[in-house]
Structures are given as structure tokens and as C-alpha cells.
A and B are shown apart, each in its own frame.
Chain A
């Protein structure tokens, strides 16, 4: 007779649980609690409602969870929250993950395939989580003759550069991680790091396919940086500032794409080349050189590079939105939150449910402007990302000499045309002081 646990006794089971609880409480009160107190002694705590947040105060929150709302508010105004969650990494990574799924599904529909289908029952909605788990659990194989320090560092550096790019993007009024006065110049400086990381990663693998892909990526990125920078000078001329938040705020009446369509087109094409998207995906040309400069990367290193690529895609699309499509500006479509619910509470017959601390968080942090700005920004960014993904299902890859001649002759010429248009608009008085804006 097979029994799973032949000597099972309920009393023994309960005794073991009680033993564990007693030991946990003993060790926690003797060691854990003093350690927490000692750590808290050195960390400056926020002042909430004129009262310093001490651990003893924090314990009273257990009895009344709504009193934690001021802590949430204080946390949401910290730099840490901005870097980790909302306008920074978390928000961008969420959009990037959505982009990967939509790309696979949309390309499949374009080419009359099914795409991810089985994971998660509904249209393969969990495919991304499955792929992520697979990448995390895979072994990282390093080529025997690779230059190990550079090979290990390159994916991390790639994600770090992409995250630095994301940090410069203003999402809603006042919601930007790094509000740099020279924001656009900082963008140029950050973009300059991608070819370095790419060529170092490609060289360090000590293999032919990555090296060819890396050199192609270097050619492509460095030569397309010039039309990229030139195409954005027109926007700087008509706004007179390099700060990305001010550029976005200056488009409250109309977006700059109305006046500078040539610059927008040039920037979009250079964006495709910088992102190595089809039709400019020569560095990763899978039908010629396996996977280009990604060939030797495996496991989570490949996953990091993919994450960095899609963060970069989001950042470029967001930059297009900020510079040419008006950023967070748009019609106010988010309804105002009924404030009397927060100030007076909800009456449910004899009972009145009132949540204290909801009113300041709604009027200071999550305001109507912030929600509407974020919604407008996300809608425009998703639209631009759609147009970045679309060529992949439609166009073939172009030759490298066509690519270089396109970048060096046609796009630079068009970028200068755009600069002259901007100059004419400013000097004719259409824009700038005395003009429309």
C-alpha cells in the first residue's frame, strides 16, 4: 500500500509549525528588529503631515491602511520613483514589452500567418513572459577565444545607454527624469555611445559574423548621425531652446510637423537606420550573416540586448513625438476626478466611506493634466512605433552602398533644405517673436 506520508500525525505537523513560528519570533525580536532599527537610524525618513515617519508610526498604519497614502504621495515625488517607475525605466520597459508582442502579432497578420497563439489561450498573450523565462533560464555560452571583460560588459552597457536615453524624455508636464537644459545635445551625446558598444561587443566575440555585423552597424550609425543631428536643428531654430520640455511645451497650438515636414521625414528615416530596423537592418541581416553582431550572444545577454533595442525604439519614437508631434499637448479628454468623493466621502445609506489623504495626492501628484498628458503622449508614441514596425512587413533589405549614398547625399541635402525652411519661417516673421507663437 502506497501512502505518501505513512507516519503522518496531525499533532506532529501542528507542533512543527508552532516550533517554526516561535523560532522566527525569537530570532526576529533578538536580531532582526535591532538590525532594522539600526538601519533606520541612518536613513532620513520623510515628514508626513508634520510628523516624522518613525517605525512606531509605521506600525500604526497596520490598523488604518488609508494612512499610508501620504507615504505613497511622498514616494511618488522622489527621484527614485521617477527613475525606476513612471517616466523612466519601468514605464519604458512596459511600452517596449508591448511593442515586442504587437510587432510579432501584427507582422503575422500582415503576412497571413497566425503568430504567437498558444501561450495564455487568448491569442498568445503570455508568449512574451514565456520567452523571457526561457531566456533567463538558458545557459550563457561564451566563445572560447572571446575577450571576456568586454563581452560581458557590452550588453549591460547597451541597456545602460538606452536607459540614459529614456531618462531624457519628458512624458507629461514636469514628469521627466533628467530635465537637462541642453536636453537635445545630451540626446546626441547618448546616441554616440551606441556604435561604441556595438563595435566593442562585435569585436570581443572574436568571430566573423559578429565582426562583419558590427562594422556594418558602425558605418550605418555613424553616417546616419549627421543627417539626424542636422534634421533636428530646424526645430531648435524655431523654438530657440534645447530643453526638450520647453520644446514640447512650445507646441501647444500646433505641432512642428506642420511647418517642418521635411525635417520630420528625414528624422524618421534616420531613426529607422539608427534602430537597425528593416529596410536598414544590415547589421543583423539574418539571411546573410546569421544574426549579425548578436550572433554569439546567448541567454540573458541576448535578452538584455533585445531589451536595450526596444527601449531605444521607444526612446526614438518618444523623441519624434516630443520634437515634431507636440509631446503631451492635445485635447483634454480625461474627465476631472469628482473631488467631493475625496473630500466628503461616499455615502452608502447610513455609512459614509471616506479615504483620508486621497485629496492631496489627486490635486498635487496625479492631476488631470498629468493623466491627460500621459494619455496623449502614449497615444502618439504608439502611433509612431506602429509606423516604425510597419516597414518590416512590407519592404526588403537594401544594399549597403544604397544605404550609404542615401545617407550621405540625399538625406543631408534634405536636412539642409529643412534648415533653410526653418530660417525662412523665422526671418519672415511667421514663427518666433511677433509671429504665430
Chain B
């Protein structure tokens, strides 16, 4: 059962990733990207990490894919992209992909991970939280500061100087 689900998810993920690259229509491409991200969420479910899987769905499919879709809809494709396609580039790309996949596969095979037992209990997200506030607290504070800094920077960038205060909504 888990094997069949793994195979189906792998086909969905890789198939929609290829589709996302190869589709002529940008909208369909971004829908295929959503399929890829959803397939990765399915892998997290298979690995008994529903917490990560649901965040993958909520953040990547729910927000980032929407952002990409929205951007794509406002873009006139012909004005920005110029189609460059020749045989050399194509074969070079395929060769590069094969090299990367073979080397990654060699690393995985060499690492000794051959089987995954799927009857392990689910990862307890409370333990993750406890680890974050005890052992990894410097990392947590650093992340908090970086996020706060980026949010403040985004607000400063988005602030328009040409809008007068009385034009602003009270």
C-alpha cells in the first residue's frame, strides 16, 4: 500500500514538475507547479510528518503558488520572454540533469538508507517545540530577529511618500 502510494506520488511530483517546465501556457505551468508542491506534501504524509505536510499545503500551495499564479496572470508573456531553443541547449540540459541525478542517487545509495519503515509513530510536534525553546533557543531568536527585520523592511519599502496623510484612510 505504501509502495503504491509512493510510486503514485513520485509519478505525480516528477510528472507535474516536467509539465511545469515544458507547458507553453504559463497558467497551466503554475497549476502543474501546484501539483508538484502538493506531491511533496504527500511525501511528508507518507513519512508520518503531518505537521510539515499540512504546512507545506498551507504555505506553498496556498500562498506561494497563488502568488506565482497572480504574477503570471499580470504578465504579458510575449513581451518578456524570448524563446531560445536549440538542440545544443536541450541536450546540455538533459545531460546536466542526468549528472545531478546520478550523483545524488550515488550519495543516497552510499549513505546506507535502503529501506524506510513506515510503521514508526508520527513525529511529535510538541517535542519539536520543546527543542526550539530549550536547546535551539539562539536559532529561534535569530530567526525571530530576521523575520522582524524583513517585515519592517517590507513595510518601509511599501510605504508611499507621495500619498498625503489626509488621503490615507483613517
- Give me the interface of A with B, judged by CB distance under 8 Å: 147, 150, 180-182, 185-186, 188-189, 191-193, 195-196, 199-200, 203, 215, 218, 222, 225, 399, 401-402, 405
Using A189-B57, A196-B65 as known contacts, say yes or no to A218 and B70 having CB atoms under 8 A apart.
yes
Chain B residues with CB below 8 A from A399, complex form: 169
Of the stretches B1-9, B47-55, B94-102, the one at the interface is: B47-55
Chain B residues with CB below 8 A from A181, complex form: 50, 122
Residue of B nearest to A147 (CB): B27
What is the CB-to-nearest-CB distance from A180 to chain B, in angstroms, rounded to a whole number?
Answer: 8
Chain B residues with CB below 8 A from A192, complex form: 57-58, 61-63, 66
Q: Digit string of B33-70 for contact with A (CB within 8 Å is 1, else 0)?
A: 01000000000000000110011011001110110011
In this complex, the member of A181, A185, A401 whose beta carbon has the largest number of chain B beta carbons within 10 angstroms is A185
Chain B residues with CB below 8 A from A199, complex form: 66, 69-70, 73
Q: Which parts of B61-116 form the interface with A (CB within 8 Å)?
A: 61-63, 65-66, 69-70, 73
Please report the total number of B residues contacting A with Cβ < 8 Å. 20
Q: Digit string of B138-170 for contact with A (CB within 8 Å is 1, else 0)?
A: 000000000000000000000000000000010
Residue of B nearest to A194 (CB): B62
A182 touches B62 (CB 8 A): no
Using A192-B62, A193-B61 as known contacts, say yes or no to A182 and B69 having CB atoms under 8 A apart.
no
Interface: B10 (CB within 8 A): no
A188 touches B58 (CB 8 A): yes
- Give me the interface of B with A, judged by CB distance under 8 Å: 27, 31, 34, 50-51, 54-55, 57-58, 61-63, 65-66, 69-70, 73, 122, 125, 169
Chain A residues with CB below 8 A from B125, complex form: 182
C-alpha gap A185/B125 in the complex (Å) = 12
In this complex, the member of A188, A192, A193, A203 whose beta carbon has the largest number of chain B beta carbons within 10 angstroms is A192
Residue of A nearest to B25 (CB): A147
Using A191-B62, A196-B62, A200-B69 as known contacts, say yes or no to A401 and B169 having CB atoms under 8 A apart.
yes
A196 touches B69 (CB 8 A): yes
B27 touches A203 (CB 8 A): yes
What is the CB-to-nearest-CB distance from B132 to chain A, in angstroms, rounded to a whole number?
Answer: 15
B27 touches A196 (CB 8 A): no
Residue of B nearest to A202 (CB): B73
C-alpha gap A196/B60 in the complex (Å) = 12
A222 touches B27 (CB 8 A): no
A188 touches B69 (CB 8 A): no
C-alpha gap A109/B54 in the complex (Å) = 44
C-alpha gap A346/B69 in the complex (Å) = 66
B54 touches A193 (CB 8 A): no
Using A193-B62, A195-B66, A199-B73 as known contacts, say yes or no to A188 and B169 having CB atoms under 8 A apart.
no
Other than the known A203-B73, A405-B169, what 10 A-B pairs have Cβ atoms closer than 8 Å?
A: A185-B50, A185-B55, A188-B62, A189-B62, A196-B34, A199-B70, A200-B69, A203-B27, A215-B70, A401-B169
Using A196-B34, A199-B66, A222-B63 as known contacts, say yes or no to A185 and B54 having CB atoms under 8 A apart.
yes
Chain B residues with CB below 8 A from A189, complex form: 54, 57-58, 61-62
B66 touches A185 (CB 8 A): no
Report 20 cross-chain contacts, Cβ distance below 8 Å, ordered by A residue: A182-B50, A182-B51, A182-B54, A182-B125, A185-B58, A188-B62, A189-B54, A189-B57, A189-B58, A192-B63, A193-B62, A196-B61, A196-B62, A196-B69, A199-B66, A200-B69, A222-B63, A222-B66, A401-B169, A405-B169
Residue of B nearest to A211 (CB): B73
What is the CB-to-nearest-CB distance from A413 to chain B, in angstroms, rounded to a whole number?
Answer: 13
What is the CB-to-nearest-CB distance from A214 to chain B, in angstroms, rounded to a whole number?
Answer: 9
Instruction: Pick the contact of A200: B31, B58, B63 (CB < 8 A).
Output: B31
Chain B residues with CB below 8 A from A185, complex form: 50-51, 54-55, 58
C-alpha gap A215/B67 in the complex (Å) = 11
Query: What 4 A-B pairs come out closest when comparing CB atoms?
Result: A192-B62, A189-B57, A185-B54, A189-B58
C-alpha gap A180/B51 in the complex (Å) = 11
In this complex, the member of B27, B63, B122, B169 whose beta carbon has the largest number of chain A beta carbons within 10 angstroms is B169
Using A182-B51, A189-B58 as known contacts, say yes or no to A196 and B66 having CB atoms under 8 A apart.
yes
C-alpha gap A133/B101 in the complex (Å) = 56
Chain A residues with CB below 8 A from B122, complex form: 181
C-alpha gap A189/B27 in the complex (Å) = 22
Chain A residues with CB below 8 A from B55, complex form: 185
Using A200-B31, A200-B69, A203-B73 as known contacts, say yes or no to A402 and B57 having CB atoms under 8 A apart.
no
Residue of B nearest to A214 (CB): B73
C-alpha gap A399/B73 in the complex (Å) = 24
What is the CB-to-nearest-CB distance from B88 to chain A, in angstroms, rounded to a whole number?
Answer: 34
Chain A residues with CB below 8 A from B34, complex form: 196
What is the CB-to-nearest-CB distance from B37 to chain A, in angstroms, rounded to a whole number?
Answer: 11
Chain A residues with CB below 8 A from B58, complex form: 185, 188-189, 192
What is the CB-to-nearest-CB distance from A164 to chain B, in angstroms, rounded to a whole number?
Answer: 11
